[in-house]
């Protein structure tokens, strides 16, 4: 055992001073990139083994497994320590990042290990998001491969500042310096091309243990540090984060009684002291820090990475999702951005659809435009794309439903890194990096008009509404919508009927029937309906509108209570039997693609305001029922 | 501006506090599972810090089997009082009625008291988020467990439906009836736990310290005879200086012979001995891959 782990004697002789040393350790999180073939599992297994993070019973199991499998002859196969369980393979787990722990005399390490080629982008981005450093493994016999470039690109994209290029299996190339130099020259050229300015190259052998815990005699030509020595001394991100302006997103407002109001959160960047001036964004209100409260007593100073509770000198509004910033260096606020989006779900991104965007504690509704391009992670080439599929990375414009405080991802992972959540399944479907705000948003101001929407409604002596009819093709939407409008007209109500087929002749004639086009179709109709409610009208729409997400998007556009979802519930067999326009027959014959109910899904409403069962009542009765519900 | 160096324990502490606050902000009805062990003690201590000066805004839930060590019951009640938190104790009424015990019923004991008991307690109170003290270093299959672990409305863990966790951002959204288990100590190791208890002077059950206790040896486990429900088959309990590395039901929890009577001595012993923590628990030896299976069924 070498001096990195000279623990046993000290533990036995003077446990108190040992504990004192260990309580002052720092922590480094890193990710290892490479496949099993590169010896990644062997390297991690050795790090755990050498730091004695393996206990006797585990060691006994390891030794017997090693002998049984015989991959390393009579020697221990370190890879078995970290390679997956049988159960894991049977379960077919796809999103996989395993976290493992070891410690030396100076630092505790958390290693994010991301096995698997297929889901590599999703796994690696996840593991890298919390890492200070990436170890990129290269097999000395193979040199820089496509996957080396992919790993490096992803590590750099996610903002990892320290890249270690570990050229492994040096024992298999006779510890040849020329081979090492050749690989590193190759890598350096590539690294420069993608913007990696600096990296540390180390020749190692995970199997033989060269340059892992101590400098190897086999590589006298290498005078750099062994891998662990480098990991123990590399500058922590946390140190750099503290030098930036102060920012703390508010997670939770602590208000146990009327005398105490504290803002709880984790400091993203910078430092803060009592008396410092702060500005709450997006409101822009200013105050000063009165106290930094902890259970052990108030602090004089708190820094990036600490979870604290701040009390302000003034009673100003501040809630979850707002950001407390240095008064003279606030963050930007915007609602349109350019961002890199990494898609992580089996269901592809739908441009225009509203997703939840979660940026730290803040959750807002956001739509992603069709990507400007996607990046081929193997060649770094920009390619045209209409959407993003699982593991795709693209650059796109994002619009949020309100202005949010943010920073460029390059300046702050906490204030620039977001996740995307599907509104229906609640799955985390993507991640993104905000780059900058689009100026467009700031330059178009809302024009305040003198005749308000209330005035319009009052002149018409009615409450504006959107009656949103949804259902399969041939369910009877248009027929019922038409009858409803006639009844309302007889009652002197001012109405307008927006019909699916009619709108596609004009406003939406550029749109087809793909999922993305259907989303855009509904979005435009929603915006038109909204303008009409502003004008005081009762709007009746008849659109298949098959996706819950888009109907919810339109609902969210309207004033509360002004959106009435009417589900025209006709079973598929019944609609197909009627087949008024002959479309089902065409779709069955394969002449119509993306036909709802046949080869495109219909997502029935969970809780519509009104449900019409057309198998039990007539269209006339249905219209009567709808009118009675909206006109009391 | 000079930089302040945060130690690994300070960073782990901040991470756990951040996670707890996220749950309180996002969940409708959270609860903290409290098993009275050392990990629970650390978790409870962190919860008090996270919400200070308010008491933690959720209750503690002890899923009781009636077979815990007596020392555990007394610390449980004291700790809840000190934190100013409501303590809920749930005992599966079916197990009570059938007199399920570890001597006669084998793995059914764990299934009914713990797995079923936990599901009952969560359903009964409508809890949608439950904090647990599990750590990733406990065994290989836990290394990839998420911090926010999602369960179906029947409490099953679906490995294919777990969410990627990026940065410090946790997606806690769920549909009605679904719930989540949240593990704020995921990134702590056994040594971190002990060091933190030492540093923060957290009270733990005295059974962790060595003392003379009445013991018998069964199936290779050194068991303590904690009360007269322990059926002695002609055996005479022997007084031995022992302590426990983990605590559970006393008839299922193996002791180790030890003289460690202070925390530094415990840590010293832990660092110099080389048997992993869970080996003292009979539950893991029951069947291969048993943890993985129990997790899918809803056990922590």
List pLDDT tens digits, range A524-548. Answer: 999 999 999 999 999 999 999 888 8
Is the pLDDT score of A308 beyond 90?
A: yes
* Chain B: closest CA distance from residue A11 (Å): 6
B5 touches chain A (CB under 8 A): yes
Mutate to test the interface with A, among B167, B180, B200 (most CBs of A within 10 A): B167
B28 touches chain A (CB under 8 A): no
* Chain B: closest CA distance from residue A8 (Å): 7
A393 lies in some domain: yes
* Structure confidence at residue A491 (pLDDT): 84
- CA angle centred on A212, ends A207 and A215, rounded to 5°: 115
Listed residues A187, A209, A237: the one ending a domain: A237
Number of domains composing chain A = 4
B201: left (phi over 0), alpha (psi -120 to 50) or beta: left
Residues above pLDDT 70, as percent of chain A: 88
A287 lies in some domain: yes
> Once rounded to an integer, what is the mean pLDDT over residues A311-340?
93
B271 touches chain A (CB under 8 A): yes
- Min mean pLDDT across A37-51, A119-133, B274-288 is at B274-288
Q: What is the mean pLDDT of chain A?
A: 86
Listed residues A419, A441, A463: the one ending a domain: A441
DSSP for residue B22: H
Other beta carbons less than 10 A from residue B191's beta carbon: 18
* Chain A: closest CA distance from residue B155 (Å): 17
A307 touches chain B (CB under 8 A): yes
- A386 and A476, same domain (yes or no): no
Q: What is the CA radius of gyration of chain A?
A: 31
Is the pLDDT score of A93 beyond 50?
A: no
A448 lies in some domain: no
* Structure confidence at residue B41 (pLDDT): 95
- Contact between A199 and A138 under an 8 Å Cβ cutoff? The reply is no
Q: How far is CA A285 from CA A359, A389, B272, in A?
A: 21, 42, 56
The CATH number of residue A192's host domain is 3.40.50.300
List CB contacts of A128: < 8 A, sequence separation 6 or more: A31, A112, A134, A154, A155, A158, A160
A contact residues 308-337, partner B, Cβ 8 Å cutoff = 309, 320
**Which residues on B lie below 8 Å from A91 (Cβ)?**
159-160
CB contact under 8 A, B167 and A129: yes
List pLDDT tens digits, range A232-271. Answer: 999 888 888 999 999 999 999 999 988 899 999 999 999 9
A630 touches chain B (CB under 8 A): no
Is the pLDDT score of A76 beyond 80?
A: no
List pLDDT tens digits, range A358-383. Answer: 999 999 999 999 999 999 888 888 99
* Structure confidence at residue A585 (pLDDT): 87
- A485 and A344, same domain (yes or no): no
In the structure, what pLDDT confidence band is assigned to residue A88 with cuts at 50, 70 and 90?
very low
Q: Using alpha carbons, select from A429, A24, A405 the residue that is nearest to residue B199.
A: A24
Domain that holds residue A165: 2-237
> Distance (Å, rounded) from C-alpha A536 to C-alpha A540?
13
Is the pLDDT score of A495 beyond 70?
A: yes
- A417 and A463, same domain (yes or no): no
B236 touches chain A (CB under 8 A): no
- A530 and A393, same domain (yes or no): no
Q: Which residue of B has its CA nearest to A58?
A: B276
* Chain B: closest CA distance from residue A305 (Å): 7
- A434 and A535, same domain (yes or no): no
**Which residues on A lie below 8 Å from B289 (Cβ)?**
85-87
CB contact under 8 A, A100 and B143: yes
Q: Which residue of B has its CA nearest to A80?
A: B140
* Structure confidence at residue B235 (pLDDT): 84
Per DSSP, the residues of A283-334 read TTEEEEEEEEE-TT---S-EETT-EEEEEESS-----TT-EEEETTSPPEEE
CB contact under 8 A, B167 and A428: no
A10 lies in some domain: yes
* Structure confidence at residue A512 (pLDDT): 84
* Structure confidence at residue A273 (pLDDT): 96
- A489 and A423, same domain (yes or no): no
In the structure, what pLDDT confidence band is assigned to residue A513 with cuts at 50, 70 and 90?
confident
> Distance (Å, rounded) from C-alpha A607 to C-alpha A629?
16
A446 lies in some domain: no
Helix axes B190-200, A15-23, angle to 10 degrees: 100
- A356 and A398, same domain (yes or no): yes
A-B C-beta contacts closer than 8 Å: 206
In the structure, what pLDDT confidence band is assigned to residue A128 with cuts at 50, 70 and 90?
very high
A57 lies in some domain: yes
- A255 and A168, same domain (yes or no): no
The CATH number of residue A264's host domain is 2.40.30.10
- Min mean pLDDT across A84-98, A176-190, A443-457 is at A84-98
CB contact under 8 A, A307 and B14: yes
CB contact under 8 A, B174 and A271: no
CB contact under 8 A, B4 and A303: yes
Residue B97's Cβ-side half-sphere holds a number of Cα atoms within 13 Å equal to: 3
Is the pLDDT score of A58 beyond 80?
A: no
> Distance (Å, rounded) from C-alpha A12 to C-alpha A398?
59
Is the pLDDT score of A322 beyond 90?
A: yes
* Structure confidence at residue B218 (pLDDT): 85
- A459 and A580, same domain (yes or no): yes
* Structure confidence at residue A414 (pLDDT): 94
Listed residues A211, A237, A263: the one ending a domain: A237
> Distance (Å, rounded) from C-alpha A271 to C-alpha A172?
49
Could you tell me which residue, A34 or A625, shows the higher pLDDT? A625
Is the pLDDT score of A116 beyond 70?
A: no
* Chain B: closest CA distance from residue A286 (Å): 23
List pLDDT tens digits, range A186-222. Answer: 999 999 999 998 999 999 998 888 999 889 999 999 9
- A148 and A170, same domain (yes or no): yes
* Structure confidence at residue A72 (pLDDT): 64
* Structure confidence at residue B277 (pLDDT): 53
- A387 and A494, same domain (yes or no): no
List pLDDT tens digits, range A419-444. Answer: 999 988 899 999 999 999 987 554 44
* Structure confidence at residue A421 (pLDDT): 95
- A226 and A257, same domain (yes or no): no
**Which residues on A lie below 8 Å from B274 (Cβ)?**
52, 55-56, 59
A447 lies in some domain: no
- Contact between A565 and A629 under an 8 Å Cβ cutoff? The reply is no
* Chain B: closest CA distance from residue A108 (Å): 7
List CB contacts of B241: < 8 A, sequence separation 6 or more: B210, B211, B212, B213, B257, B258, B259
* Structure confidence at residue B292 (pLDDT): 46
Is the pLDDT score of A511 beyond 60?
A: yes
CB contact under 8 A, A360 and B161: no
The residues of A annotated as belonging to the active site are: 545
* Closest in A56, A266, A293 to B52, CB measured: A293
* Structure confidence at residue B296 (pLDDT): 53
* Structure confidence at residue A68 (pLDDT): 66
A contact residues 376-435, partner B, Cβ 8 Å cutoff = 413-414, 417-419, 421, 426-428, 431
Other beta carbons less than 10 A from residue A151's beta carbon: 28
A467 lies in some domain: yes
- ipTM tops the 0.85 cut: yes
Task: Per residue of chain B (300 residues), give pLDDT as tens.
Answer: 678 889 999 999 999 999 999 999 999 999 999 999 999 999 999 999 999 999 999 999 999 888 888 899 999 999 999 999 999 999 988 888 888 888 788 788 888 888 888 989 999 999 999 999 999 887 766 777 889 988 888 888 876 778 889 999 999 998 888 889 999 999 998 889 999 999 999 999 999 999 999 999 888 888 888 888 888 888 888 999 999 988 888 888 888 888 889 888 888 887 776 555 545 544 444 433 445 455 555 555
* Closest in B54, B175, B189 to A101, CB measured: B189
CB contact under 8 A, A361 and B271: no
CB contact under 8 A, A306 and B166: no
> Once rounded to an integer, what is the mean pLDDT over residues A168-195?
93
> Once rounded to an integer, what is the mean pLDDT over residues A6-34?
78
């Amino acid at each position: 055992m070498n001096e990195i782990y000279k623990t046993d004697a000290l533990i036995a002789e003077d446990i108190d001073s040992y504990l004192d040393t260990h309580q002052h350790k720092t922590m480094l999180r890193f990710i290892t990139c490479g496949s099993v073939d590169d010896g990644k599992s062997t390297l991690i297994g050795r790090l755990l083994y050498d730091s004695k993070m393996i206990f006797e019973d585990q060691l006994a199991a390891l030794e017997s497994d090693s002998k049984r499998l015989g991959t390393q002859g009579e020697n221990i196969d370190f890879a078995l320590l970290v390679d997956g369980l049988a159960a894991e393979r049977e379960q077919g787990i796809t999103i996989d990042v395993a976290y493992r722990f070891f410690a030396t005399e100076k630092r505790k390490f958390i290693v994010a290990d991301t096995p698997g080629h297929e889901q590599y982008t999703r796994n690696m981005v996840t593991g890298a998001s919390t890492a200070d450093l990436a170890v990129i493994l290269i097999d000395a016999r193979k040199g820089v491969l496509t996957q080396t470039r992919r790993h490096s690109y992803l590590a750099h994209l996610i903002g990892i500042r320290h890249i270690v290029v570990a050229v492994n299996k040096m024992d298999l190339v006779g510890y040849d310096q020329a081979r090492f130099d050749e690989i590193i020259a190759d890598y350096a050229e590539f690294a420069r091309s993608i913007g990696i300015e600096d990296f540390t190259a180390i020749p190692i052998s995970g199997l033989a243990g060269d340059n892992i815990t101590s400098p190897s005699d086999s590589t006298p030509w290498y005078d750099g540090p062994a891998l662990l020595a480098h990991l123990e001394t590399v500058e922590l991100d946390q140190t750099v984060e503290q030098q930036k302006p102060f920012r703390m997103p508010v997670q939770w407002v602590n208000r146990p009684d009327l005398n105490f109001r504290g803002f709880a959160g984790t400091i993203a960047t910078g430092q803060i002291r009592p008396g410092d001036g702060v500005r709450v964004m997006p409101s822009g209100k200013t105050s000063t820090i009165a106290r930094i409260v902890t259970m052990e007593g108030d602090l004089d100073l708190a820094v990036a990475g600490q979870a604290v509770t701040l009390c302000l000198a003034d009673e100003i509004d501040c809630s979850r999702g707002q950001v407390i910033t240095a008064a003279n260096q606030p963050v930007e606020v915007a609602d349109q951005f350019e961002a890199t989006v990494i898609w992580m779900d089996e269901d592809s991104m739908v441009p225009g659809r509203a997703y939840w965007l979660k940026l730290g504690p803040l959750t807002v509704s956001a739509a992603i435009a069709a990507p400007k391009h996607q990046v081929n992670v193997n060649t770094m080439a920009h390619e045209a794309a209409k959407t993003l599929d699982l593991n795709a990375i693209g650059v796109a414009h994002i619009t949020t439903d309100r202005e949010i405080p943010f920073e460029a991802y390059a300046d702050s992972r906490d204030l620039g890194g977001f996740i995307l959540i599907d509104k229906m399944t609640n799955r985390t479907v993507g991640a993104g990096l905000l780059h900058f705000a689009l100026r467009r948003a700031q330059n178009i101001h809302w024009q305040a008009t003198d005749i308000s929407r209330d005035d319009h409604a009052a002149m018409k002596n009615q409450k504006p509404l959107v009656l949103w009819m949804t259902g399969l093709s041939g369910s009877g939407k248009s027929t019922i919508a038409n009858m409803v409008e006639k009844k309302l007209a007889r009652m002197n109500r001012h109405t307008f009927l927006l019909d699916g087929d009619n709108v596609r002749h004009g406003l939406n004639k550029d749109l087809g029937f793909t999922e993305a086009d259907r989303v855009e179709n509904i979005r435009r109709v929603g915006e038109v309906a909204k303008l009409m409610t502003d004008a005081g009208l009762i709007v009746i729409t008849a659109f298949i509108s098959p996706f819950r997400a888009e109907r919810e998007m339109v609902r969210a556009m309207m004033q509360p209570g002004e959106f009435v979802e009417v589900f025209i519930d006709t079973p598929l067999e019944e609609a197909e039997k009627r087949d008024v326009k002959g479309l089902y027959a065409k779709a069955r014959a394969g002449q119509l693609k993306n036909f709802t109910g046949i080869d495109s899904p219909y997502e029935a409403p969970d809780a519509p305001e009104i449900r019409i069962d057309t198998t039990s009542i007539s269209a006339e009765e249905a219209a009567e029922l709808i009118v009675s519900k909206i006109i009391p | 501006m000079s930089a302040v160096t945060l130690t690994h324990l300070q960073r782990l502490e901040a991470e756990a506090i951040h996670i707890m606050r996220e749950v309180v902000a996002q969940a409708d009805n959270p609860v903290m599972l409290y098993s009275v062990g050392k990990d629970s003690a650390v978790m409870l201590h962190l919860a008090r810090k996270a919400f200070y000066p308010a008491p933690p805004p959720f209750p503690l839930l002890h899923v009781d089997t009636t077979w815990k060590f007596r020392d555990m019951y007394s610390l449980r009640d004291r700790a809840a009082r000190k934190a100013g938190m409501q303590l809920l104790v749930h005992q599966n009424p079916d197990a009570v009625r059938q007199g399920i015990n570890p001597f006669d019923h084998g793995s059914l004991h764990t299934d009914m008291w713990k797995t079923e008991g936990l599901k009952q307690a969560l359903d009964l109170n409508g809890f949608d988020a439950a904090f647990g003290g599990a750590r990733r270093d406990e065994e290989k299959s836990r290394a990839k467990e998420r911090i926010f672990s999602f369960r179906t409305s029947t409490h099953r863990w679906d490995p294919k439906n777990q969410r990627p966790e990026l940065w410090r951002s946790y997606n806690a959204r769920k549909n009605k009836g679904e719930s989540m288990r949240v593990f704020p100590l995921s990134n702590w190791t056994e040594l971190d736990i002990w060091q933190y208890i030492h540093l923060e002077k957290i009270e733990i059950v005295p059974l962790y310290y060595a003392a003379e206790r009445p013991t018998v040896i069964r199936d290779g486990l050194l068991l303590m005879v904690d009360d007269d429900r322990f059926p002695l088959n002609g055996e005479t309990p022997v007084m031995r200086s022992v302590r426990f590395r983990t605590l559970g039901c006393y008839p299922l929890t193996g002791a180790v012979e030890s003289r460690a009577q202070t925390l530094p001595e415990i840590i010293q012993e832990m660092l110099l001995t080389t048997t992993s923590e869970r080996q003292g628990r009979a539950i893991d030896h029951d069947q291969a891959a048993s943890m993985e299976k129990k997790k899918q069924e809803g056990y922590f």
